[in-house]
A and B are shown apart, each in its own frame.
Chain A
């Protein structure tokens, strides 16, 4: 179960630090800041969201001011600034998906999960939100689930039910 805390203990493992180092190596010397977004993705994958501690640690690692990380975290929609469910369902809410029924899918998800956009289900497993176009317009309605951002296309109410049931089952079997 995901623990909902205001802040969290953050210690980057050796393995994570090795991954960070690999990322930094893609950019020229003195331009390590370029590694910020990919490193933030890795950290969010590990901890589920961007806590202040996590951002401060990233700043320390890249030799940046903390504010340089905060301002990036608040600009980009993929970074979660509060704890979210283990599975965040990002449902496309933009024009082309709405032409083929995205609004109904969103209503259904809200009803099924019983939480409002951005909130977390009691068991800590799910959150959902509407996101802008995710470049899959021909296969709408679509949703994606982080941290790997797997796409689920041509959604129907039945497919959504099945998906949620499968994820629940997977967690129970753990």
Chain B
């Protein structure tokens, strides 16, 4: 069994209540930080831990915090990004449902480090049940003296507020989130200025993911150096992976970074292999925005090395033959799945979710959707395949926020790795309506699967 830093007590009955969470050592990190550490000390521990943002981009958290401007007399804010809407990603919902006090504890430590006195958790509106859970957890923590005025008699005041979204993927992008939190449409802001200088209400703001903030709890309890011993290289600590698609045991798993992808998919401790004894065809390893890889490239790199669940190893090979860890949304496709159909589905998603501010994204996502629709429904021509690549290329890098890239990469990578399947769809328009291309030449069948 690998070490669990966030989910050690996830299966303890009642862990969602303050009482049980506290019995299991909860809020020790708050006591430690407030009674024996300065905000700078907390920041130093987070820096030493090597923690990187778990929301998708993997930016070092300590560095992000150190950029926070601290002008005299201007309030600063911590905003927790609980908008979780990236297809394939469902870890934050899981954490907030089953161990909400971990997030609240992390919010207190992080707010203390940043000098924030009013912190917000922006939760996507569809997660009403989780909003209620968090509100209850906050009330319990306040009742016990861990929130409010003069926490633990140490002179630090903090309120945590839960604020709902209302259904828009783009509000996961941090500046769109801030707009939304200000009661507006979620149109991303042009950067600079970055939120660290001018964020919520034009005040210095740090936006962090639910899991990132929660990870500060073990970091303060055990020390940043201890945390950094877990994991592999610059991918320190553990990561929550939400696994879905055609797996025997989909769900949320806390892994030590450095676990091999093969073990994650096939061992019984994790996903237990492909459902119904089917063969793996492809994987999207880090949420819908990252490049899709065929089975043979997900378990081993193009150089023939074992691929690991780390930021670096998943990215090995760049866009040609690699992908990204992203948000940890791990989607497995079995031999019966159609890559064209899934690519169309994702393209439709991004076209629907584009905020419409920049023309390359607004028009480009619309065209990707339309061209893919034609191919899927037997009305495509071979030149459409290059057209897709061309459109994706024209969106990439030409937009205000990274949603444009997120829409372009899945299409570009699907065409790169599964071109035969697109060509077959176009050359066999009728047959493609009745059956799928199958596993094709991509999947190098694994000779033996890993067992415990």
Contacts and interface: CB of A to CB of B under 8 A. Distances in A.
Interface in A123-165: 131-140, 144, 146-151
A37 B166 contact: yes
Interface residues of B, number: 55
A99 B126 contact: no
Interface in A60-75: 68, 71-72, 75
Nearest to A25: B161
B87 A96 contact: yes
Interface residues of A, number: 45
B58 interface: no
A137 B244 contact: yes
Contacts of B183: 33-37, 68, 72
A31 interface: yes
A113 interface: no
B126 A134 contact: yes
Contacts of B118: 28
A135 B82 CA distance: 11
B167 A76 contact: yes
Given A38-B164, A76-B166, A135-B92, A94 B345 contact: yes
Nearest to B85: A133
A126 B93 CA distance: 27
A147 B186 CA distance: 22
Contact of A137 (B88, B129, B352): B88
Contacts of A149: 125-129
A79 interface: yes
Nearest to A151: B129
Interface stretch (B212-220, B223-231, B246-254, B359-367): B246-254
Interface stretch (B101-109, B309-317, B329-337, B427-435): B329-337
Contacts of B84: 135
Interface in A70-120: 71-72, 75-79, 90, 93-96, 98-100
B111 interface: no
B342 A95 contact: yes
B85 A26 contact: no
Interface in B406-440: none
A55 interface: no
A57 interface: no
Would you list the 10 A-B pairs with minimal beta carbon distance, nearest first? A76-B166, A36-B183, A33-B183, A77-B167, A138-B250, A78-B167, A137-B244, A149-B128, A75-B185, A26-B161
7 contacts: A28-B118, A37-B125, A37-B183, A76-B165, A135-B89, A137-B331, A138-B252
Interface of A: 26-28, 31, 33-38, 40-41, 68, 71-72, 75-79, 90, 93-96, 98-100, 131-140, 144, 146-151
Given A98-B345, A100-B245, A137-B242, 20 more contacts: A28-B75, A28-B201, A31-B201, A33-B183, A34-B163, A34-B183, A36-B183, A37-B164, A38-B164, A40-B166, A76-B186, A79-B167, A99-B245, A132-B169, A132-B349, A133-B88, A135-B85, A135-B92, A137-B90, A144-B126
